[in-house]
Amino acid sequence: MRHAETAFLGGPVATMDPVGSFTDAVAVRGGEIIATGRADVTELVSGGTEVVDLRGRLLLPGLQDAHVHPLYGGLQRIRCDLTDSESEAECLRRVADYVAANPGSGWVLGGGWEMGLFSGGCPSRSSLDEVTGDRPALLINEDQHGAWANSTALRLSGVRRDTPDPPGGRIERDEHGRPAGTLHENAVDLVGRHVPPTPDAEYVRALLEGQRHLHEQGVTAWHDAILGAYLGYPDPLGYYRELDDADLLTGRVTGSLWWDRTRGTEQIPGLISRRAFAAGKRLGAHSVKIMLDGVCENFTAAMLRPYLHGHGSGISYMDSDELAEAVCALDAEGFSVHFHAVGDLAVRQALDAVQAARRTNGTTDNQHQIAHLQVVHPADVTRFSELGIVANLQAEWAHNDTAMTELTAPYLGEQRYRRQYPFRSLRDSGALLAAGSDWPVSEAAPMRAVHVAVNRSEPGDEAPPLLPEQAVDLTDALAAATIGSARAHLLDEHTGSIAPGKSADLTVLETNPFELPRSEIGHTGVELTMVGGRVVHSADG
């Protein structure tokens, strides 16, 4: 008898099988799960077996992040990181500290600032000038849909009073029509294209830091939602290949190739070539990312009806006929499509495009999915299940914060406010739920997102929950972060649940959230992360 290399005993173990069953032990050998249940596992324990005593802590299939940007998040962590700043003053203090710790004349780069910390959601160039001096600065905001630039950066980039707003973007302006310092959507490129090239070694270091941080959060597999150049960031695909070829890619990675909205279906042969280039040991890219709109906070999410108070209906990046043509062609070539859709118009456009592809090509194995889903018209909820489209949820957004109460709710109106993040309605209609963080837009912390999905409020937050009738239970939230995400990205044959023959991709939490009050779920940390039988994170170091 060949004994186990590692045995987890003293459960509980959530298998995430179709009936949500639990067991109490798991044995691992050769990177695979070889047995479950204490009786079978103990027979495989020998003197050479590493025995992990769970001591009542929960063992899960490895958590998976179905929508994330590890290169961006890693860069933010190694640059001027404004993540979790609690005020405009703290943002400025962090920038000042970074400038002092990194002297010179080069660009100040980084980001992570939250729109809700600034008046009207828009920071000014003048306040940034005070802490950066003459050094140019460009700081991407938390949601990756805008940036904060100082006067030097705007001047070096030629962005002036007479600079027109680019297609798909907007320059925030002061009362005199001058650039005020905030750039929305494609307007970021007006400055971003003037930032000096970053050495490849820094991007590799950033991607490794992003991977390390995901493992620290219990994540064993993830979907990089943009493989292509975007918002001044480079295409991450080559860096992933470099890590994969060097056996430094310790997570399982799928990704979506970026759809260039300035081109049409003539780009598909190039996407097919990039799909072949991406095929690696722990890397693959079988889907294409199409961004359909922006975000509600800056009125660029595409809406069926205008925002209140004269802010228009948002930005639709593609018209419906063009989108349907693209999706039909991609579907025919075996690509899944990963849509960014925040507003109810964008969500409907995505659903209509997939419906057109189903009519044209018939039912395929392609796993199309729509991410974000902030505002969904009630008539469209059941279409996810009917069309077999994955609802890719960024659950951490579904709570009341300043961005919601001051920048979003007043402009949506009561009816649309009550249609936000309809997790329970989607679940009850039979839709497959997947869970992604969209890090660095929000934290790469699956258990924090699980908390919000269950409570519709952040850990420790005393604000009223956001539409608590749309909460899901803990089992459904964890399923979305494991088997649901695995199915979304066609990784479920080997990952996403615990059973003999599946890969030993496992996450041990520091406690059992099923035994905690709901209000404490989000404080659950990660003790150990394993991919293919190899420990890639341990809280013990």
**Co-location of 231 and 284 in the same domain:** yes
Q: Is residue 187 one of the residues assigned to a domain?
A: yes
Q: Is residue 319 one of the residues assigned to a domain?
A: yes
* pLDDT tens by residue, 199-208: 999 999 999 9
What's residue 128's pLDDT? 97
Residue type, 125: R
Q: What is the 8-class DSSP label of residue 503?
A: B
Instruction: Count how many domains the chain has.
Output: 3
What's residue 497's pLDDT? 98
Residue 80's nearest CA partner among 445, 394, 396, 440 is: 440
* Phi, psi dihedral angles at 513 (to 5 degrees): -65, -20
**Co-location of 349 and 417 in the same domain:** yes
Q: Quick one: what percent of the chain has pLDDT higher than 90? A: 93
What's residue 324's pLDDT? 98
**Co-location of 265 and 140 in the same domain:** no
What's residue 227's pLDDT? 98
Q: Is residue 219 one of the residues assigned to a domain?
A: yes
Q: Is residue 77 one of the residues assigned to a domain?
A: no
Q: What CATH number has the domain bearing residue 189?
A: 3.10.310.70
Give residue 188's domain range.
107-193
**Co-location of 283 and 417 in the same domain:** yes
* pLDDT tens by residue, 340-354: 999 999 999 999 999
Q: Confidence class of residue 2 from pLDDT cuts 50, 70 and 90?
A: confident
Q: Is residue 478 one of the residues assigned to a domain?
A: yes
**Co-location of 424 and 459 in the same domain:** yes
DSSP states along 336-373: EEEEEE-SHHHHHHHHHHHHHHHHHH-S-S---EEEE-
**Co-location of 277 and 409 in the same domain:** yes
Q: Is residue 30 one of the residues assigned to a domain?
A: yes
Q: What is the 8-class DSSP label of residue 502?
A: S
Q: Is residue 139 one of the residues assigned to a domain?
A: yes
- Average pLDDT estimate for 63-90: 95
**Co-location of 164 and 208 in the same domain:** no
For residue 1, pLDDT beyond 70: no
